[in-house]
A and B are shown apart, each in its own frame.
Chain A
Amino acid sequence: MRRLKTTVAIAAVAAMAVVGCSSPSTSTNEPGGGQGNIPGQEKTVDPDAKGPAPEVQGAKKGGTLTVYSQSTPNTMDPTDIYYVDSNEISKLMIRTPTQLAIRNGKAVLVPDLTDLGTQSADGLSWTFKTKGTFKYDDGSEVKIDDFAYAIKRSFAHDVFANGPTYQMQYFKDGDKYKGPYTGGLDYAGVETQGTDTLIIHLAKPFVDLPFYMTFPMFGPIPQAKDTKDNYKNKWLSTGPYMLDSYTPGTQLKLKKNPNWDANTDPVRHQYVDAWDFKWGVDDVANQKQVLASVGADATSLNYGDIDASLVPDLTGAKKSQLVQGDSPCTIVLQLDARKIPLEVRKAIAKAYPSDQIYTAGGLTDLTAEPASTIMPPSVAGYKKYTPHPDLTGTGKGDPEAAKKMLEAAGKLGFELSYYYDNTKPLPQQTSQIRKEALEKAGFVVKPIGVATAELRSKVGDYDAPVNMGQSPAGWCSDWPTGSSWFPVLFQTHSIADGSSWGMLSDPALDKEIDDVSKLPADQAAKKWAELDEKIMGMYIVIPRYYNKMAVVVGTGVGGAEGDGTMGMPFFLNMFVK
């Protein structure tokens, strides 16, 4: 699954465990209105989109935008980028074969450097054709081999350990090839023809590959200019902005790229003259500063979610400084189906103090919405079916009724245990609330406190002596379809991959998921929704909430909206008022 911003990940961890993200699907989202539910949406694709990108209403040219955050992107190497913050920032510089545009708040898959690709009849190869000629920021021309090289580079997982890994599962020989540094340049998975054709050969059908091609690691990189470890400090740009100066962990300055041609780009704009990213600030203090918008702060924004203590400040004119949007994530509490029988899982859901944990965890309606499904609203195929009893993400829990259920099943005193971080107040307090509520319902509860540093490995160990709360405690789409969710989370192999929800291993279910993933995207969406309801009915997770984005921008920032595929502000349409 896609990796969350570090701060978000910490919040989720704080709640109990690690949010794992790894894969696929994100779609489009609307910057929500604040109240009401997140509107779901169908996947949208626009193969005919052409540059230049439609003008943003009221947009002006010039000025510098300053962007703050407390959390720091871990890398800026396009191949190594998986976290949403660096991914969103890279869109200003790195053009990719395809791209997600935000139109009326919805993400739409559009061509970027290539078309949207054509799939072969057997589904085992995809052909992408470039649309015109493009230049790097140093004036040299983008060659078709540079695309192939970038793909080969993504297999060097020993060098770029953080990057996405779908290519290793889906691409031909993806499990064997080790990248250009140790594996040589011969790789059967990619092929180029002429000056404009890129062919990707697959080991198994990958219907959603064009969505995957929006990741910055698919942006072209010329082999001659690849500096391997050092590329993360100095990279080539194809987008409207290029590197001006970069101090890892502290500051990134971008300036206009003179070799970018607006007429070839259906997504990006070049409204502002420069971007100035500053990291490591104190989010709360900085958000106050941005809200006050005095002097230079008027043209700044902070992309950390707004701190709850600032919510009362958002009155009057300041309300418009809040930008809301979706995130591609669902956060849950796992129940290990291997160790807890179904009746007991139902009793846990009955007793679970969702509301108390929601509030005690510091969640507000700005940053979260109670969840009742597996897929969040931003994923194509999301359907808000009638929630299964007690799986609504809300409610105070009913210990008496749960106790009766336990007695009926003859499981009174069933032992539950889970890991939590006992060095921080927030997870400690929520753990205490959970423990008290479940004990009231007749369970024996054994929370195991561990230090922050150990938590990740502990909750990720499926053989550990606990039966709930394993990781991933949340999942974020890498692209907005069900294939980013079900094949990753609910098949037998998910347990070995360390990315299972509920530890399901049922050959019949495996097959059902496989069948749906082979369907074309538009037919699959409905099937994924049905599967969502079915799997939820197994009570293998207690749904907690869908993430939402809520960030503050200065009064001089125009065109600000959320990118629901990332849960980040969408930089490409922003301008200085």
Chain B
Amino acid sequence: MEPVITGTETLTEPTVGTIPPSQGGAAVATSKSPTRIALQRLRDDKVAMICFWIFVFFVLVAIFAPVLAGIEGQSPTERNFDLIDRRTTFPIIGTTAEHWFGVEPRLGRDLFARWVYGARPSLIVAGSATLLTTIIGVVVGLVAGYFGGWVDRVLSWLIDFFLSLPYLIFAIAFPAVIISMVYGGNEGTTPEQVAKVRFISLITVLSILGWAGLARLIRGQVLSLREREFISAARVLGVPTRRVLFRELLPNLIAPIVISASLSLPGYIVAEAGLTFLGVGLMDPTPSWGVTIASAQNYYDSYPLYLWVPVLGITILVLALSLLGDAVRDAFDPKTRR
């Protein structure tokens, strides 16, 4: 559903009166930008704030993963074969003071260390993909919508083209292509190189396939905005095109951009874990929740901790981000407020 912007023509226009009476509490009589108003609404939303702090918690976990693993005294890659039962490949310990979440079957790597480090790829991949799709989508949408004519036709065609690319096939084929381009074939690449290529290609794939939706949204908004008086005025005054695009139009697009970004972030986290689970995303030795879930899937009843810890990590993070995204949309768009 496309978020609709109402009453937010420009930062330079007074906004009083554009806020529905029901939001009267937030509608202070002096000039306050719609963004600030939205943030104020967001701060008043308890669910949004809880979700935000959960998100911050995970970001901190990812940033301080080495510190956390250091407190526990374990590394995510060190194998502890002495903790593995040779007859079954199951660990002989559960959760202990040394291994807070136990260890992996077979290799005996510490699950807590892998969990905290595993938050990193999820957040980095999702964050980078969100950033890239937003930048590309906004620029393409702005240019296409503002210039119109053949530029619009070409860019619109591109948008349609990328929207029609088969996502899974592309995601599966892309890493192999990159590996052969960078290293001249799969042969001789080390696991670290492959893992790095997979990491980069995952971000690339998600970005390439993700920007077109936002671009189309932005283009639509720009098409309607560019006929407004303040844009015409800017043109008449001889404001350079770049300035019109980024100083006049862009501020009016903050709402759809923020909403789109906050909703796509959890989507990319799920996509990363999903592709990894299918074996085409990240791979060992990169610690990642998706990698752990893929190898733990057969252990759901015999060694639940192995599977459920990363699953819970992803679930809580995605749920929090989704609710936060909804709240952001509500805050920016009073019409959808419940």
Contacts and interface: CB of A to CB of B under 8 A. Distances in A.
Interface of A: 284, 307-313, 355-356, 358-360, 362-366, 396, 422-423, 425, 428-429, 431-433, 447-451, 454, 458
Interface stretch (B7-15, B84-92, B212-220, B245-253): B84-92
Contact of B299 (A309, A356, A431, A451): A309
B186 A312 contact: no
Interface of B: 79, 81, 84, 86-90, 105-107, 186-191, 194, 283-285, 291, 295, 298-299, 302-303
A356 B187 contact: no
Contacts of A448: 187-188
A449 B186 contact: yes
Contact of A425 (B86, B189, B283): B283
Given A358-B86, A428-B191, A422 B186 contact: yes
Nearest to B186: A451
Given A422-B191, A428-B191, A449-B187, A308 B81 contact: no
Contact of A356 (B81, B189, B194, B291): B81
A355 B187 CA distance: 28
Shortest Cβ-Cβ A-B pairs, 8 listed: A309-B298, A311-B88, A451-B186, A365-B87, A425-B284, A308-B89, A312-B302, A428-B191
16 contacts: A308-B88, A356-B79, A358-B86, A359-B81, A362-B89, A364-B86, A422-B194, A423-B186, A425-B283, A425-B295, A428-B283, A431-B191, A433-B79, A450-B187, A450-B188, A454-B187
B106 A362 contact: yes
A443 B84 CA distance: 28
Per DSSP, chain A at the interface is helix
Nearest to A394: B86
A358 B106 CA distance: 9
Contact of B106 (A310, A311, A360, A449): A360
Contact of B298 (A284, A425, A447, A458): A284
Contact of A428 (B87, B187, B284): B284
Given A359-B86, A364-B87, A454 B186 contact: yes
A422 B88 contact: no
Given A312-B88, A355-B86, A359-B81, A429 B107 contact: yes
Contacts of A355: 81, 86
Nearest to B108: A359
Contacts of A428: 191, 283-285
Given A423-B186, A450-B187, A364 B194 contact: no
A284 B295 CA distance: 13
B186 A360 contact: no
Given A359-B81, A449-B186, A451-B186, 6 more contacts: A308-B90, A309-B302, A365-B87, A423-B186, A449-B187, A450-B187
A432 B285 contact: yes
Contacts of A363: 89
A377 B158 CA distance: 66
Contacts of B107: 359-360, 429
A284 B300 CA distance: 12
A364 B84 CA distance: 11
Contacts of B194: 422-423, 449
A360 B79 contact: yes
B290 to A, nearest CB: 12
A56 B189 CA distance: 56
Nearest to B88: A311
Contacts of B188: 448-450
A138 B81 CA distance: 59
Contacts of A396: 81
Most B CB atoms within 10 A — which of A312, A359, A431, A458? Answer: A359
A458 B186 CA distance: 13
B27 to A, nearest CB: 57
A458 B299 CA distance: 34
Given A425-B295, A449-B187, A364 B79 contact: no
Contacts of B284: 425, 428-429
Given A355-B86, A356-B81, A310 B187 contact: no
Contacts of A308: 88-90, 105-106
Contacts of A313: 302
A271 B187 CA distance: 53
A428 B285 CA distance: 9
A89 B191 CA distance: 40
B201 to A, nearest CB: 14
Nearest to B187: A450
Contacts of B298: 284, 307, 309
Nearest to B192: A432
A310 B302 contact: yes
Nearest to B175: A423
B191 A432 contact: yes
Contacts of A362: 89, 106
Contacts of B79: 356, 360, 433
Nearest to B81: A356
A458 B188 CA distance: 12
Contacts of B81: 355-356, 359-360, 396
Contacts of A364: 86-89
Q: Which of A428, A431, A449 has the most CB of B within 10 A?
A: A449
A422 B186 CA distance: 8
Nearest to A424: B279
Contacts of A356: 79, 81
Nearest to A357: B81
A366 B86 CA distance: 10
